[in-house]
Amino acid sequence: MSEAEGPVVVRVEAKIAWLTITNPPANALAPAVLEALDAALAAVDKDPAVRVVVLTAAGPHFFSAGADLKGAMGIDLPAYLQRGQALFSQLETLSRPTLAMIQGTALGGGLELAMACDIRLCADSARLGQPETTLGIIPAWGGTQRLPRLVGRGRALEMILTGAVITAEQAENWGLVNRSLPPDQLVDFTRNLAGRLAQQPPIALAEAKAAVHQGLSDGIAAGMIAERQAMARVMTSDDAREGLVAFLEKRRPHFQGR
C-alpha cells in the first residue's frame, strides 16, 4: 500500500496505517473528506501488511469539528447523512483494530467518527461533545446510538440534549475515551499501543472484534454463538498453533496472520 496525500494523508509504518485528516482550519468532514476516508479504508482493508489503523487529524486544535454544515446547505443532505453513517459503520467493522488519536476538539460528526473506532486516546486538553441540538438539529452519524453504548443512557442523553462539551478527564471517567494523556505523551503512547496490537495474531483479533460487534448488535445469545464459531475457526490457524507452542516453549510467539 503506497502513501497517499489529499484531505486524508495515509502513511504506513511498522504494520500501522496512520490516517490523518487534513482539512484546515477545523478538519470538517466535508464530502471530499468522507470520500478520501472511504478510499483509505478500502486500501487498508486490502493490504495484508497493515495490521492496525490509527485515525488522527492535522494540527493540535481540532480532531474534527464535525460535518461541514455550511457546505451541506447546498448538497443532497439525506445522501450526505447516509454516506457518513455507512462510512462510520465500515470503520467500526474493519477487521483491523482501530485507534482514534484525538489531539484537539472532537465535536458532532468528529466525535461520531472517533466513536466508530475501537479505542480512543486523547490529549488531556481535548474537548468532546455532541452539540447538534444547540443548532436545532441532532447527531445523525451514529451519535444517538454509539454514545449510549459507551457512556450509558443517562449520560448520553445529558450530552446530547444539553449539547454540553465535556473535558478529557470527564470523557475518560465516563468511558468515552480509554485514556487521557498529556499532549506531549499522546503520540508515543498511541504508537506504542498500536505497535503492541500489530504484534498480536491478526486472525484472532479480527474474530474477537467481530464477535463483540455481533453480540452488541444482535444480543448476547447471538454473540455467544458467534463466539463459539469464531473460536472453532481460529483454533485451526497457524497462529493458534504458534501461540500454543510458544507458550509451552516459554518463548515469545511470532504470528504470521495465517
Positions annotated as catalytic residues are 112, 132
CA distance 32 to 5: 13
Provide φ and ψ at 249, rounded to 5°: -90, 0
With vertex at residue 84, the alpha carbon angle to CA 80 and CA 89, rounded to the nearest 5 degrees, is 150
Pairing mode, strands 105-107 and 179-181: unpaired
The cell numbers describing 50, all together, are 497493515
Q: How far is CA 189 from the centre of its chain?
A: 16
Containing 91, the helix (H) or strand (E) segment is helix 77-92
Determine contact, residues 58/102, Cβ cutoff 8 Å. Answer: no
In the DSSP assignment, the letter for residue 142 is S
CA distance 31 to 34: 5
Q: Residue with C-alpha cell 499522546?
A: 186
Buried b (16+ CB within 10 A) or exposed e, 133-152: eeeeeebbbbbbebbbeebe
Strands in 127-129's sheet, in edge-to-edge order, are 62-64, 105-107, 127-129, 165-167
In the DSSP assignment, the letter for residue 213 is H
